[in-house]
């Protein structure tokens, strides 16, 4: 059986494709911006 | 610092140097010297990329940025996750497939020799100047700690870095970077905990945030569209993304880090590690600066954090004026502290009117204190004191030396210098590698043996170290250090990024068009330096101009039939 190409395997449980990894990174980013926005609104 | 602190500092520095030299003894294989063993795992790559960027300047200057201007600087990093995703998905597979030593070799594959030399030359110019700043940062610490002159400190610390880099080499430094950044994190967290413990009794975390917010330190995001504002969400997303794309994608000091990965997967995950943790790390460091600001509202700070410069001038003609301003500052700070305690009591007792009155009175006193500080800076500036423009870079080290216990002081100063040496070594090694691979081996002497090129790279590394020392000696910084580094990067990163984006995405554009387009775009960015446009936009404008000019020139060349694109793609 052929092993998956080098650039296809992430080896991460739940994030098996690179698209999912990139999406996860973007979700974390949006969460941070949201938290910082709340902090700014609360204390400005 | 006492004997224990010096023991930790000197012992660690010598151990790192000895370890570097021991691990690289007898190495003369060019491939290993340039790229390492190419077996590096993703966590090491991720921490190495982080350690190369989060140098001593990050550690020293960013808390001062938080102290002076609050959290807004974090927006500068909003574009980084997007840039790192683009690099992982597009740039990285091409670099690995071509097995290049430097990013600029790719430009030679895609375009021609002159475009490769232009890209490499712009890197050498920008990074050679930037390397001076990373020598300047530890020199500030040493001059404060030892009471030495800044210029003498620059020479001594710079030569130490050069000797260590040339003799120890970059490979050993890369191996130690993950431990060094571990020490930095431990030191920063320890400083954070000590800082919280030293806040006045009764001042809870919510009170601390309310106080900091009242002094406009917690404005982390700004959605306004004003391009004259230095840090907004939009400048961070767009300008910051182009800055990060240039730095992580085309700067050899970073490319060299992730090209050492054992596979594409390891390199990609190392980059994604930074995409996730870069913003929280910068936020944490800025928050540390904000907490130091709150702490110094209750403990009297020096009127000028660069106390060596203040003391030097106080013994000269401006001494009477400086002492009078110091007395004004002390009186204003005492009044502010009294009013802040009254504010705290009123807040805890729920007396809204008294809380508002005390807050207004404390702000008025704080303004008086700031006026004394501003006038002190002006007096020092008129007296010709060297490092007068921005003393926020001295805030964190002053706090460390005045309030942390011995042993922990040694640990933090050690971590600071370990970070400085490791990032400096990486930069100098990248400069040496690029000079060797893209100029010496490509233009001057082809076909020599590995040992010859490794020796040449060591000589070039030493040369760039001396250039960096020279720049640090003559640089007079009008900006906070961390901003100065970003400004320098923004001026020189846009056009080179345009070169790479044209190479990756516009296959019909050839070398001649993109070469002249990059030069024209760089000239445009130089012109922008004389306008009020925030520096974060320089990358975007420089890059966009390079792409646009390339298309126009390629169209003209096509019409005249004098040249065309190289059709072969990597």
Phi, psi of B261 (to 5 degrees): -65, 145
A26 touches chain B (CB under 8 A): yes
Cβ of B265 under 8 Å from any chain A Cβ? yes
* Chain B residues close to A22, C-beta within 8 Å: 85, 88-89, 272
Sign of the alpha-carbon torsion through B543, B548, B549, B554? positive
* Closest-CA residue of chain B to A40: B219
Contact criterion met (CB < 8 Å) for B265 and A39? no
Q: Could you tell me if B111 and B566 are in contact, meaning their C-beta atoms sit under 8 angstroms apart?
A: yes
Mean pLDDT on B290-314: 88
B43 in A contact zone (CB under 8 Å): no
Q: How far apart are CA B509 and CA B265, in angstroms?
A: 31
- Calculate mean pLDDT across residues B164-173: 63
**Residue B21 reports pLDDT greater than 90:** no
φ/ψ bin of B382: left (φ > 0), alpha (ψ from -120 to 50), beta (otherwise): alpha
Nearest to B461 by CA among B259, B158, B105, B51: B158
Residue B391 has pLDDT above 70, yes or no: yes
Chain B contact for A14 (CB, 8 A cutoff): no
pLDDT in the model for residue B37: 60
Question: B324-362, pLDDT tens digit by residue?
Answer: 999 999 999 999 999 998 988 888 888 888 888 988 899
**pLDDT greater than 70 at residue B171:** no
pLDDT category at A4 given cuts 50, 70, 90 is: very low
pLDDT value of residue B333: 92
Q: What is the pLDDT of residue B481?
A: 59
What rounded mean pLDDT belongs to chain B? 83
pTM value is: 0.84
Tell me the mean pLDDT in the region B540-551: 93
Cβ B102 vs Cβ B433: under 8 Å: yes
Put simply, whether A4 touches B (Cβ < 8 Å) is no
In chain B, the percentage of residues whose pLDDT exceeds 70 is 87
pLDDT surpassing 90 at residue B293: yes
Residue B483 has pLDDT above 70, yes or no: no
Which pLDDT belongs to residue A2?
A: 46
Closest CA to B523 of B501, B563, B492: B492
On whether the CB atoms of residues B392 and B64 are closer than 8 A, the answer is yes
Instruction: Tell me the C-alpha distance between A34 and A28, whole Å.
Output: 10
Give A6→chain B minimum CA distance, Å. 6
Task: Pull the structure tokens for residue B527.
Answer: 């012109």
A18-32, B129-143, B320-334, B507-521: the lowest-pLDDT one: B129-143
Give ipTM to 2 decimals. Answer: 0.90
Query: B220–A28: do the CB atoms touch at under 8 Å?
Result: no
> What sign does the dihedral B353-B354-B359-B361 (CA atoms) show?
positive
Is the per-residue pLDDT at B520 higher than 90?
yes
| pLDDT score for A8 | 63
Q: What is the DSSP letter of B304?
A: S
CA of B535 to nearest chain A CA: how many angstroms apart? 22
Dihedral sign for Cα atoms in the order B461, B465, B471, B472: positive
A18-27 long-range Cβ contacts below 8 angstroms, 24+ apart: A18/B88, A18/B89, A18/B268, A21/B268, A21/B272, A22/B85, A22/B88, A22/B89, A22/B272, A25/B81, A25/B84, A25/B85, A25/B272, A25/B275, A25/B276, A26/B81, A26/B82, A26/B85
What is the pLDDT, as a whole number, of residue B67? 92
CB contact under 8 A, B221 and A18: no
Taking an 8 Å cut-off on Cβ atoms, the answer to whether A44 and B219 are in contact is yes
Torsion of CA B263, B268, B269, B272, to 10 degrees: 170
Chain A nearest CA to B46, separation (Å) = 14
Interchain pair B265, A6: CB under 8 A = yes
How large is the average pLDDT for residues B47-59? 80
The Cα B256–Cα B362 span in angstroms is: 51
> B211 near B340, Cβ under 8 Å?
yes
pLDDT digits (tens, 9 = 90+) for A20-30: 999 999 999 99
Of B481 and B102, the structure prediction assigns the larger pLDDT to B102
Contact B265 A9 (CB under 8 A): yes
Q: Do A43 and B213 touch (CB under 8 A)?
A: yes
């Amino acid at each position: 059986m052929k092993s998956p190409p080098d650039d296809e395997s992430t080896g991460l449980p739940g994030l098996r494709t690179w698209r999912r990894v990139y999406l996860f990174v973007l979700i974390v980013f949006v969460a941070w911006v949201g938290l910082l926005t709340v902090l700014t609104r609360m204390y400005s | 610092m006492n004997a224990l602190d010096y023991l930790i500092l000197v012992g660690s520095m010598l151990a790192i140097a000895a370890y570097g030299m021991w691990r690289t003894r007898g190495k003369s294989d060019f491939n290993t010297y340039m790229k390492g063993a190419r077996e590096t795992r993703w966590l090491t790559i991720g921490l190495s990329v982080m350690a190369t960027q989060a140098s001593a300047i990050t550690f020293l200057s960013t808390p001062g940025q938080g102290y002076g201007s609050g959290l807004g600087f974090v927006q500068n990093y909003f574009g980084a996750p997007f840039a790192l995703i683009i690099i992982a998905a597009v740039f990285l597979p091409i670099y690995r497939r071509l097995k290049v030593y430097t990013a600029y070799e790719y430009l030679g594959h895609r375009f021609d020799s002159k475009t490769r030399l232009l890209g490499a030359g712009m890197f050498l110019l920008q990074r050679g100047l930037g390397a001076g700043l990373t020598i300047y940062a530890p020199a500030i610490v040493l001059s404060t700690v030892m009471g030495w002159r800044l210029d003498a400190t620059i020479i001594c610390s710079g030569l130490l870095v050069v000797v260590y880099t040339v003799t120890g080499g970059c490979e050993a430094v890369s191996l130690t970077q993950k431990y060094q950044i571990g020490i930095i994190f431990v030191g920063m967290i320890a400083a954070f905990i000590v800082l919280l413990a030293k806040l006045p009794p009764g001042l809870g975390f919510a009170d601390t945030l309310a106080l900091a917010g009242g002094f406009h330190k917690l404005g982390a995001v700004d959605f306004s569209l004003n391009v004259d504002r230095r840090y907004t969400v939009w400048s961070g997303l767009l300008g910051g993304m182009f800055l990060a794309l240039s730095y992580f994608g085309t700067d050899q000091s970073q490319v060299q880090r992730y090209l050492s990965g054992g596979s594409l997967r390891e390199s990609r995950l190392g980059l994604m590690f930074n995409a996730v943790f870069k913003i929280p790390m910068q936020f944490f460091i800025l928050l540390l600066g904000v907490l130091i600001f709150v702490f110094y509202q209750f403990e009297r700070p020096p009127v000028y954090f660069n106390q060596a410069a203040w003391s030097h001038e106080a013994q000269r003609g401006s001494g009477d004026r400086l002492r009078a301003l110091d007395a004004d500052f002390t009186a204003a700070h005492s009044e502010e502290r009294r009013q802040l305690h009254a504010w705290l009591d009123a807040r805890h007792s729920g007396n809204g009117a008294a809380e508002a009155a005390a807050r207004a009175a404390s702000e008025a006193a704080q303004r008086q204190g700031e006026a004394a500080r501003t006038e002190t800076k002006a007096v020092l500036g008129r007296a010709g004191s060297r490092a007068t423009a921005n003393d926020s870079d001295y805030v964190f080290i002053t706090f460390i030396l005045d309030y942390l216990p011995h042993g922990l002081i040694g640990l933090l100063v050690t971590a600071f210098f370990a970070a400085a040496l490791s990032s400096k070594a990486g930069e100098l090694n990248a400069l040496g590698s690029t000079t060797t691979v893209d100029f010496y081996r490509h233009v001057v002497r082809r076909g020599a043996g590995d040992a010859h090129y490794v020796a040449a790279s060591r000589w070039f590394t030493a040369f760039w170290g001396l250039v960096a020392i020279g720049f640090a000696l003559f640089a007079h910084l009008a900006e906070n250090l961390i901003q100065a580094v970003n400004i320098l990067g923004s001026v020189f990163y846009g056009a080179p990024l345009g070169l790479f984006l044209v190479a990756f995405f516009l296959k019909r554009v050839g070398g001649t068009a993109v070469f002249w387009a990059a030069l024209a775009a760089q000239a445009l960015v130089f012109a922008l330096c004389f306008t009020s446009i925030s520096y974060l936009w320089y990358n975007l404008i420089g890059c966009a101009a390079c792409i646009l000019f390339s298309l126009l020139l390629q169209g003209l060349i096509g019409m005249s039939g004098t040249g065309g694109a190289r059709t072969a793609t990597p």
